[in-house]
Amino acid sequence: MKTVHVPEKYKHYYTDHHFSAAVEAGVLVFLAGCTASHPDRPFAEEPEAQFHDAFLKLKAYLEEAGLTFDDIVEITTFHVDLRKHIDLFSAVKDQYIGEPYPAWTAVGVTEFIPPKALVEIRAVACRT
């Protein structure tokens, strides 16, 4: 059995694009990839602001499922210009995710659906 979690602010993803922000299956919660796009404000131009915005969207997904960053057991991040931004991204990530650190895989890509996006973060959390 699975349960879907969709924050009201991101309901259009479910209705227009047919995906859930978070899907709970047993004790695991699978969180959809988060870019810095938001329905209520422009896309940030600066990389650091984009990284924060992506983590804030991930936080909204977690909260809708009744979870926090502490519940994350794995993250996968996808980056345009991975080598150029990895140190800055890592510093921002560490403001949201602390010890014990989850498993993490970072992958370089060429583009995302939002044309200005530099990062997409997906995660798996465990309900304990």
pLDDT greater than 90 at residue 59: yes
pLDDT greater than 90 at residue 117: yes
Distances in whole angstroms, Cα of residue 9 to Cα of each of 51, 80, 122: 19, 26, 18
Residue 113: helix, strand or coil by DSSP?
coil
How confident is the model at residue 121, as a pLDDT? Answer: 98
Instruction: Output the pTM of the full model.
Output: 0.94
pLDDT greater than 90 at residue 51: yes
pLDDT greater than 90 at residue 38: no
Q: What is the pLDDT of residues 76-103, one digit of tens each?
A: 999 999 999 999 999 999 999 999 999 9
What are the structural domains of the chain? 2-126 (3.30.1330.40)
Across the range 54-66, mean pLDDT stands at 97
Cα(121)–Cα(39) distance, rounded to whole angstroms? 18
CB distance 15 to 118 below 8 Å: no
pLDDT greater than 90 at residue 41: no
Across the range 90-117, mean pLDDT stands at 96
Other C-beta atoms closer than 10 Å to the C-beta of 77 total 24
Cα(63)–Cα(7) distance, rounded to whole angstroms? 9
